[in-house]
């Protein structure tokens, strides 16, 4: 019996993500929250013949606080794709002004109504929205770093797809054989492709130019979609797939199953309170607290993380990418943290 709540359920990501969740037999209640059309999406999905009971929650007006409380009451897992997406010419950081307060307020509601829920944050800029969520939960005295996840799975999905094309292997077979660490935007995204000897030997045969193109494509894959959609938003369907892939891992862990992948999917997490995280951050990340690393899940929370520098093979060039990523992460984390410090909850 698992209740899952999607905040932003009527959006471009929210709808297909909710569809995939409705198909998961582990979900007993699927609670859809949005400021528009949540009831319509819920009515539509409720006709699908799977066990999950779908409920729609939409505030009647700006003052209505009951819809969000009803949506969150008793929930085990909250997934947040609420907020605005990019248009051509924008960076993810340009979304901060609007999305920061959306995340702050939604997470404050989660902290008050469902403090034990696992929280998956999709809304951009992820590098800053996850620190916002952590600060809000800290302020409310309910922060459990094992249950706060920035969703960076789309970067792994892209890396598997683009590398598969390049080395001519089925991209699905690359799940768990390569890894993506760092953050979720531009050069904060660091693909690691030498972690298994089998794939490393194929990667060794790629030209330097093709490898550089691959790295650029993973780091800036979001731009390709924003440009192609030409003002109609950013990745939604591939994101719903990626968000579901990560959510499914959390759900499986709640059912006592462990990941079958050699390397589990990464998530952007707060390291200092995860065992070994503080030391990892001090030794390899110049003390940066939030970083996407492969996470081992147990009972819906982080049991441990995989230290890429000790457990995965990281090349000198990839180490250089990490140094570049850290600079970008430092400023986004500070922006998110300062925003909450100056906010009234
Ligand atoms: N993490 C990732 O890899 C990744 C990938 C793609 C998109 N994104 C981000 O996900 C977010 C959503 O993208 P989208 O394409 O689905 O956008 P969208 O505009 O299609 O949908 C967003 C939904 O959020 C709702 N919303 C706005 N404010 C809300 C609030 N206070 N409470 C509840 N719902 C609210 C809107 O009504 C809308 O239905 C964007 O910030 C985008 O940048 C992240
Ligand atoms: O590019 C975006 O703005 C959306 C998302 O973060 C992505 O990577 O596709």
Tell me 86's DSSP state: P
pTM over 0.95: yes
* Residue 257 dihedral angles phi and psi, to the nearest 5°: -90, 150
Helices marked H in the chain? 14-22, 38-45, 66-72, 96-113, 126-139, 153-167, 197-203, 208-219, 221-229, 237-254, 277-284, 308-311, 316-341
> Which of 93, 235, 236, 292 has most ligand 2 atoms within 8 Å of CB, for mutation?
235
Task: With cut-offs at 50, 70 and 90, classify the pLDDT of residue 261.
Answer: confident
Q: Return the bridge partners of 182, or none.
A: 189, 292
The answer, yes or no, to whether any atom of ligand 1 lies below 6 A from the CB of 233, is yes
Q: Which residues contact 188 (CB under 8 A, 6 or more apart)?
A: 127, 182, 324, 325, 328, 329, 332
CB 289 within 8 A of CB 295: no
Q: Residue with the nearest Cα to atom 21 of ligand 1?
A: 11
* Domain at 2-150, CATH from 3.30.200.20, 3.40.640.10, 3.40.718.10, 3.40.50.720: 3.40.50.720
Helix (H) or strand (E) holding 304: strand 301-305
Tell me 52's DSSP state: P
> Which of 8, 80, 87, 92 has most ligand 2 atoms within 8 Å of CB, for mutation?
92
What is the Å distance from ligand 1's center to 326 Cα?
26
Give the integer Cα–Cα distance in Å for 84 and 107.
17
The answer, yes or no, to whether any atom of ligand 1 lies below 6 A from the CB of 204, is no
ipTM rounded to 2 decimals = 0.99
| Omega within 30 of 0 (cis) for the link into 307 | no
Task: With cut-offs at 50, 70 and 90, classify the pLDDT of residue 304.
Answer: very high
Q: Kindly report each contact of residues 303-310 with a partner whose C-beta sits within 8 Å and lies 24 or more positions away, as own/partner.
A: 303/146, 304/274, 304/275, 304/276, 305/269, 305/271, 305/274, 305/276, 305/277, 305/280, 306/179, 306/263, 306/264, 307/276, 307/280, 308/179, 308/181, 308/192, 308/195, 309/284
Ligand lying closest to the C-alpha of residue 90: 2
pLDDT at 258 > cutoff 90 = no
* Residue 294 dihedral angles phi and psi, to the nearest 5°: -60, 135
The CA distances from residue 166 to 154, 161, 171, in Å, are: 18, 9, 10
Tell me 281's DSSP state: H
Query: Which residue reads 């929370």 in tokens?
Result: 301
The pLDDT of residue 260: 75
> Which of 154, 217, 228 has most ligand 2 atoms within 8 Å of CB, for mutation?
154
The pLDDT of residue 259: 76
Locate 263 and state its tokens: 């390397």
The answer, yes or no, to whether any atom of ligand 2 lies below 6 A from the CB of 158, is no
Give, in degrees to the nearest 5, the angle at Cα 36 between 32 and 38: 25
With H, G, I as helix, E, B as strand and everything else as coil, classify residue 288: coil
Q: Could you tell me the residue ranges of all domains in the chain?
A: 2-150, 153-335
The pLDDT of residue 182: 98
Q: Answer yes or no: 216 catalytic.
A: no
pLDDT at 234 > cutoff 80 = yes
Q: Which residues contact 285 (CB under 8 A, 6 or more apart)?
A: 271, 291, 322, 326
Region of poorest pLDDT, from 125-139, 207-221, 258-272: 258-272
The pLDDT of residue 302: 97
Question: pLDDT digits over 71-90, tens only?
Answer: 999 999 999 999 999 999 99
CB 85 within 8 A of CB 234: yes
CB 120 within 8 A of CB 77: yes
The pLDDT of residue 63: 92
Question: pLDDT digits over 312-335, tens only?
Answer: 999 999 999 999 999 999 999 999
Highest CATH level, class, for 153-335? alpha beta
Catalytic residue among 47, 57, 184, 216: 184
Q: Which residues contact 114 (CB under 8 A, 6 or more apart)?
A: 5, 72, 73, 74, 75, 78
Q: From the CA of 225, give the closest atom in ligand 2.
A: 9
Ligand lying closest to the C-alpha of residue 154: 1
């Amino acid at each position: 019996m698992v209740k899952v709540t999607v905040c932003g359920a009527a959006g471009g990501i929210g709808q297909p993500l909710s569809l995939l969740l409705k198909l998961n037999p582990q979900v007993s209640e699927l609670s859809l929250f949005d400021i528009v059309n949540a009831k319509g999406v819920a009515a539509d999905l409720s006709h699908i013949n799977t066990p999950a009971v779908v409920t729609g929650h939409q505030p009647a007006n700006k003052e209505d606080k009951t819809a969000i409380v009803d949506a969150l009451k008793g929930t085990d897992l909250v997934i947040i794709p609420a907020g605005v997406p990019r248009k051509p010419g924008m960076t993810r950081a340009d979304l901060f002004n609007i999305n920061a307060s959306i995340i702050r307020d939604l997470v404050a509601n989660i902290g008050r109504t469902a403090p034990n829920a696992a929280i998956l944050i999709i809304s951009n800029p992820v590098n800053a929205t996850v620190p916002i969520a952590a600060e809000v939960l800290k302020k409310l005295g309910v922060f459990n770093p094992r249950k706060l996840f920035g969703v960076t799975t789309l970067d792994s999905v892209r890396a598997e797809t683009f590398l598969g094309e390049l080395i001519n292997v089925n991209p699905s077979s690359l799940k768990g054989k390569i890894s993506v660490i760092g953050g979720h935007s531009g050069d904060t995204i660091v693909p690691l492709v030498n972690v298994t000897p089998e794939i490393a030997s194929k990667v060794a045969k790629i030209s330097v130019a093709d490898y550089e193109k691959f790295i650029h494509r993973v780091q800036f894959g979001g731009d390709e979609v924003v440009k192609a959609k030409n003002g109609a938003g950013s990745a939604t369907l591939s994101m719903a797939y990626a968000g579901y892939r990560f959510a499914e891992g959390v759900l499986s862990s709640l059912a006592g199953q462990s990941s079958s992948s050699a390397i589990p999917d990464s998530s952007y997490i707060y390291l200092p309170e995860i065992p070994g995280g503080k030391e990892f951050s001090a030794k390899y990340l110049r003390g940066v607290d939030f970083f996407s690393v492969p996470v081992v899940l147990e009972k819906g929370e982080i049991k441990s993380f995989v230290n890429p520098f000790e457990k995965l093979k990281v090349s000198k060039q990839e180490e250089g990418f990490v140094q570049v990523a850290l600079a970008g992460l430092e400023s986004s984390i500070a922006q998110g943290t300062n925003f909450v410090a100056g906010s009234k909850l």
